[in-house]
Amino acid sequence: MNFIQQAYKGGNQWYLYLLVIFLVLLGWQFIGVIPLAVTAILHSENTSEFLRAADDSFMSLGIDKNLFLFMMVVMFAFGLLSLFIGVKYIHKRAIKTVITSRDKIDWNRFWFGFLVWGLLCISVVAADIFISSENYTWNFKPIPFFTLLVVSFLFLPIQTSFEELLFRGYFMQGLGTWFKNRWVPLIITSVAFGLLHGANPEVEKLGYISMVFYIGTGFFFGITTLLDEGTELALGLHAINNIVAAFLVTTDWTVFQTDALFIDTSEPSVGAEMFLPVFVLYPLMLLLFSKKYGWKNWKEKLFGRIEKPEVIEA
């Protein structure tokens, strides 16, 4: 059975998906936000200050950047836990089925995507720092930075795994069984993934042209998942992408405001870094993965039909 067909191992009635979506939203956006809200209250002098910060950013209350990042990850941890509970107890299928079509999770794939994309990201950013050094300020502070490394490497993969398994796993599979094909789920989940990031501050600064990057990234992760019949590569790619974004360079106008090694002091603008990944690096990564893992029949894997198996494997 291919990756999308894994959904047939459990219940696929439309109301089950509504129940799980409600459960995920409850865990992610309501229960998960409580620790952050409590932290914000403890940092507020009065109720009005807390409410003003809630309208803008709780970071304006002076919450430690690493603590704030950790509390943000806690929200996604509750979302991921809610998704797992929904898959197991509402759809009544194994959690592994939303991750991979293989007999067991292939962690070698995860680490390959993690390491290769990590090295590439660091190389591209390092080259830009070397070429445009006037735009960067050295920001190394030992204790905050090493704390950031711990939070980033240990906890940020929770946030990225939630997004991957929700979009490239759960939604991709559900939509695939409904539309009976692969391309409609790919388009819907990729666009929805991009729109989810529409509230990021960089979109406000750079304009909606920045959605090219977010939607393009959604397509990259989605195509990788369909061609590889599992999310392991996408999980590794997404994890290291956000980790590098957190610890290497920060600005005062992006979603990650951390104690990173460098501060980008340049004025917000749409440059090559917006289009280079989507139109150059992502295709090259797909070719690399194709060579390594022997991907065949791309047309069928991206546009083929999805049929319910006559015999559903356990």
Work out the pLDDT band at 51, boundaries 50, 70, 90: very low
- The pLDDT tens digits for 129-151 are 999 999 999 999 999 999 999 99
**pLDDT exceeds 50 at position 45:** yes
Q: How far apart are the C-alpha atoms of 11 and 22, rounded to whole Å?
A: 17
Of all residues in the chain, the percent with pLDDT exceeding 90 is 79
The average pLDDT across 5-19 equals 96
**pLDDT exceeds 60 at position 55:** no
**pLDDT exceeds 70 at position 250:** yes
Of 152, 156, 186, 150, the C-alpha closest to 171 is 186
The average pLDDT across 101-123 equals 98
**What pLDDT is stored for residue 230 in this prediction?**
98
Work out the pLDDT band at 28, boundaries 50, 70, 90: very high
First to last CA, the chain: 11
Beta strand segments in the chain, E = 136-138, 249-250, 262-264
**pLDDT exceeds 80 at position 54:** no
User: Which DSSP letter does residue 6 get?
Assistant: G
**pLDDT exceeds 80 at position 62:** no
- The pLDDT tens digits for 71-92 are 999 999 999 999 999 999 999 9
Q: How far apart are the C-alpha atoms of 289 and 294, rounded to whole Å?
A: 8
Beta bridge partners of 305: 181
DSSP codes joined into one string, 87-155 = IIIIS-S-GGGGTBSSSS--HHHHHHHHHHHHHHHHHHHHHHHHHTGGGEEE---HHHHHHHHHHHHHH
**What pLDDT is stored for residue 305 in this prediction?**
97
Of all residues in the chain, the percent with pLDDT exceeding 70 is 94
**What pLDDT is stored for residue 37 in this prediction?**
85
The average pLDDT across 272-288 equals 94
pTM of the model: 0.94
**What pLDDT is stored for residue 61 in this prediction?**
58
